[in-house]
Homo-oligomer: A and B are copies of this chain.
Amino acid sequence: MVDVQGLGAYSYLRVIVHSQKKRGRPVIPGRRDHLLDAALTLFAERGFHGTSIPDLAAAAGVAAGSIYRHVASKEQLVNEVYRGAKALLAAALLRAVPATAPLREQFHQLWWALIDFARSEPRAFAFLELHHHGDYLDAESRAVELRVLAPIAQVVERGRGSGVLKPLPAAALIVTVWGAFVGMVRAARAGYFTLDDDMGHHVELTAWDAIATSGSPTA
């Protein structure tokens, strides 16, 4: 099991042990997480400006004013959600890289880790796709985009060095793989097909052939 660094303060990603140390009316355990979760859903579906505070409150099952007990502003809320989703994706990718293995095997692990992520956290995936930019993202939240793709980049670099991958600029290889993956998920979400194991496998083959040296073994 990988040690997932970088979760930082995104408490809702962890199973929370409530220490109940303060006096006063106690926090209903899941409230904040519930809010962030509802926000993830709505922001992913309608975007930041398309989601109102009353919408969020209704989805979270709280009064509108109560939201401000958990976050200071709507902007802070998106940023919190953004970083949470990003951490989730980063964790999925990190978990998938067994340090030593044939490159084709690494690629396979990575690919299916991504598919797992897209399947188990479809909202987080959709959210990240929709919110790269936007004035409401703060400096920390921005400048992520492809940085989270570092594990992929790492694998690609290794492959280029060893001659297994095409001697093209790394960026060209990465955008192809990442683009194919995103395209697949989007098409599935749009209803063009179901993202089943077969489809995942098919596109894995195309993605690998895209970047592998022509003569390399495909599977």
Contact = CB atoms under 8 A, between A and B. Distances in A.
Main SS at interface, chain A: helix
B205 A207 contact: no
Nearest to A203: B172
A176 B207 contact: yes
A168 B210 contact: no
B47 A190 contact: no
Contacts of A172: 184, 199, 202-203, 206
Nearest to A24: B63
Contact of A210 (B46, B146, B192, B207): B207
A47 B48 CA distance: 10
B50 A132 contact: no
A55 to B, nearest CB: 12
Interface string A169-183: 101111110111111
A187 interface: yes
Interface in A152-200: 166, 168-169, 171-176, 178-184, 186-187, 190, 192-193, 199
Nearest to A51: B49
Nearest to A145: B190
Contact of A190 (B146, B173, B210, B214): B146
A3 interface: no
Given A132-B190, A145-B190, A183-B175, A210 B206 contact: yes
